[in-house]
Structure 1
């Protein structure tokens, strides 16, 4: 659907919502009469035009579609009401009305039960309102905080085949197809959106962040398109394959069927398919209702004071290597507050589980996926920060929690190449630390130099082998007793600190070990600072 068509439908929906405060059906009937006697007169006066539609089990709403009626509000009339008006434009006398003694199943609407299920829409448009109750109940259960909704629909593939077949049939009977039919999905979407608006108080808005996908199925006609796959010129290839222990059919999507119909000539379609379409005896069913709102983002900085918490859940198979994670401590509270389905935890770099994150903390943001609540007041976000900081205050805390705009999250991605980090490393040396070793290291204080780091052996199983050239902006050592020294480093983001210290079997040049001319290893590592302005100042309260 084009943007112009979407806006047109949206305007129609808004207008009808206002008009339907009172019973407008008498006025709609008049408008249909006027349309048939006015702009559509040239169509309806064609010999047998309306009779062709009455000669098959076509519902009143689909009759309007085939006649090209684009006054969408008229479709609010029931199929029987529309047929009663169209009957006046028939050339052949209508059949006798059914006997008054005809039984109607208990609990069914007599007006609608008398009518056969439409062969064109298989009941989707004819009984569109039947799905509204389930949709409204689902919307009430999900309880999205919103004033608008966007609606997309998926109808049975068979409606494509049947509309095409009925078009061919009409063309055969009238020698020419009089007009372009109205898209069945447009009508179905409006027929369910209007009552949803009236019952929920929400407004149909094709720009809404709340997107609803309604799928309708009709099992009786689900194989109507299969015959096309046996016609070489259609190009329709339907295959079955096993996926997740289930057999699924591929190649039969609506876009494939639409393309196949354009490739098959009418006479070939008629010889292999059914023209007019065959009757159906069952109504369609609501297959699924999917509701999704665009993600919202919150972010801040986290501090990790312990060496037994991983950044994200860390496991091999079913074995957890770290019992706790920063994302678990921080994100579950936020997920609950926004009533989101899932979350995505994104950080400016990462530290190993046995590395502390100190100073002002590491920048992070959390993407809330499908949140029912899109906006929280700044006071509430501040309360959430406090709540998170009471979960395990001796292990993980956060600072500067704030709501973010989607574009604010780019700061973290862009900062991967520009940010710098400061570290404090407790190092062991194979020789007792002496002043000469300290002086050798401190010769680099305030003096930038580059190291070439091959992909560390410890991560070769998951990262490509390559040489990374990283800048170390400053290096300073402080002696401790015996074989220990503390080294402060200020480096380019992405520098492997552990490998810089021990050299990684010569794969890191130069290294701390080569500078002090003895073996060295890292005992403890702390991140002191991540030099990245985040969250952006304008996001902070």
Structure 2
């Protein structure tokens, strides 16, 4: 039984008469029992109708409830996935039960999901149940290795207008009954989508868990050409608020527009949304180790001058090629603890390095597999050799890791002309002094550093080291990589020109 109350009857009746889908009626009734959204829509619709028939004013039901067979049974959401099946008899004219924030564009390839071209209104079928195999097919096509994923869906912007219109339609009825229904009380589409889709997608992917936080993000985007123009009136009514690039303002601003600009309740569309594709993006994987360089004509990174390559290879490329292939990553960022000139060898136990692998399709290797990868790199060239190859995580910091910085006074730096200004300043080594430092811990990856330095000190280079051109530097002091996110000059302590009283 649905957990409905007497106060919900006018809402159910009003939305049924408007052709709203069964699950969205539950949202407007503020039902938070997740299991109710996972039931077949037809079962939920029949129980809603039974609930209305049990009311004392059941004699008015025939005028309020929609027919449940034939061509008139087209209560479909303007933003529900296009599907086919048995039970698709109730889609919301205002909103689907599947939506979340639009995903950022990942660099991964898209596995296109072509619409079936069928009319879900006439064939019937649960849109969410039919969308799940398509989502799963798109993920499988990318061949990621994973145990869990985050699922995000982007639906058309016009959905906000249609849902608001439906709420205004219900709001009037609720007020007449002396009841209160705040829009914030309605179950968000995003939440309803999670409750419905997670189990379906998990089943299609062989048991992979759909969670709210995972290394793999799967995004699905839907469009609906039939209702594309539904929100265009906003640009006419308020051209300053609604511009093509201002979609983020859309949802908050649409609430001020009365029904005279848009039908209330919204008209029922004759077609469903079409999925445009599945986009997958995996969080970066970090690989670290040490390298030796035995060649006096091998740069650390690709050497390009005026767009022309000067050396046939580099340390970075010799290491990266096998690593990228093994992890099936789409790109990488290479960093090391300092660097050597092209004609300098690196012997001993080698130089520490780290690689950030972008969108890896494989994220875990056993110790034996990492050893085999290391051997593959070493066999590929006699110019380099790697050791201690391993998967690492971003190194967190604790308060005690940075507390010593405040005790450092009058630290003398040797700063070579930074690479960023070398094109306009002569190459030289300049000595500068950091008089004092004060540090404030923010979180395991961020802290606030306040410095008092001698005039002319290159602050950025002191923090990240400029590939070892500034010594000592903060990276060396902390024994980990560091860089600046924001830099402010708080004061320049010079007694000139004289201050003029305000």
TM-score, structure 1 as length reference: 0.62
Given the alignment of the two structures, is residue 109 of structure 1 paired with residue 74 of structure 2, yes or no?
Answer: no
Establish whether residue 81 from structure 1 lines up as the match of residue 43 from structure 2: yes
In structure 2, relative to structure 1, the CA distance for the partners of 1:386 and 1:533 (3 Å cut) is farther
Q: 2: distance between equivalents of 1:389 and 1:532?
A: 31
Per-residue CA distance 1:166-199 (angstroms, 9 max, x = gap): 1101122443565432111211223221112223
* 1:453-472 equivalences in 2 (<5 Å): 453-454=416-417, 459-460=422-423, 468-469=430-431
Counterpart position of 1:70 = 32
**Whole-angstrom distance in 2 between the partners of 1:134 and 1:111:** 18
- Of residues 248, 255, 259, the one that matches 2:252 is 259
1:109 CA drift (Å): 3.2
1:345 shift after superposition: 0.9
Residues 451, 206 of structure 1: alpha-carbon distance in 2 compared, 3 angstrom cutoff: closer
Identify the residue that residue 191 of structure 2 maps to in structure 1.
Answer: 186
Question: Which residue does the alignment assign to 2:105?
Answer: none
Unaligned runs of 5+ in 2: 74-82, 100-125, 406-411, 434-464, 470-474, 482-502
**Aligned residue in 2 for 1:305:** 294
Partner of 1:512: none
**Superposition pairs of residues 337-486 of structure 1, within 5 angstroms:** 337-393=326-382, 395-407=383-395, 453-454=416-417, 459-460=422-423, 468-469=430-431
The answer on whether the counterparts of 1:455 and 1:466 sit within 8 Å (CA) in structure 2 is no
Correspondent of 1:59 among 4, 13, 21: 21
Deviation track 1:282-320 (CA, whole Å, cap 9, x = no partner) reads 211223323233222221121222233222223346532
Partner Cα distance (1:404, 1:110) in 2 = 49
2:235 to 229, 233, 236: 229
For the residues of structure 2 that align with 1:283 and 1:531, how far apart are their CA atoms?
59
- Once the two structures are superposed, residues 398-432 of structure 1 have per-residue CA deviations (whole angstroms, 9 ceiling, x without a partner) of 2222222320799xxx9xx9xxxxxxxxxxxxxxx
SS state at 1:334 partner:
helix
Please state whether the residue corresponding to 1:309 is helix, strand or coil: coil
In structure 2, C-alpha distance between the alignment counterparts of 1:205 and 1:116, rounded to whole Å:
27
Structure 1 residues 117 and 361: CA distance shift in structure 2, 3 A: same
Residue in structure 1 matched with residue 310 of structure 2 by the alignment: 321
Contact 2:339 2:467 in 1 (8 A): no
Rounded to whole Å, the distance in 1 between the matches of 2:351 and 2:16 is 71
SS at match of 1:194: helix
Q: Secondary structure at the match of 2:395?
A: helix
How many angstroms does 1:364 deviate by?
0.5
Root-mean-square deviation over aligned CA pairs: 3.9
Normalising by structure 2, we get a TM-score of 0.67
**Corresponding residue for residue 202 of structure 2:** 197
Residues 128-186 of structure 1 deviation map (CA, whole Å, 9 limit, x = unaligned): 22221122123323343332222222222222111111110112244356543211121
| Equivalent runs, 1:11-50 vs 2, <5 Å | 31-32=1-2, 35-36=3-4, 40-44=5-9, 46=10, 49-50=11-12
Number of residue pairs matched by the alignment: 386
CA distance in 2, matches of 1:534, 1:457: 24
- Structure 2: how far apart are the matches of 1:124 and 1:74? 15
Q: Within 1, Cα distance between the matches of 2:33 and 2:419?
A: 68
| Unaligned runs of at least 5 residues, structure 1 | 1-30, 239-248, 418-448, 472-492, 498-529, 537-541
**1:451 deviation in Å?**
6.2
Q: Is the 8 A contact 1:389 1:397 kept in 2?
A: yes
1 CA distance for matches of 2:413 and 2:168? 75
Deviations 1:226-253 (A, max 9, x none): 3223334x96230xxxxxxxxxx41123
Shift of 1:496: 8.7
Residue range with higher mean Cα deviation, 221-230 or 318-327? 221-230
Larger strand proportion of the pair? 1
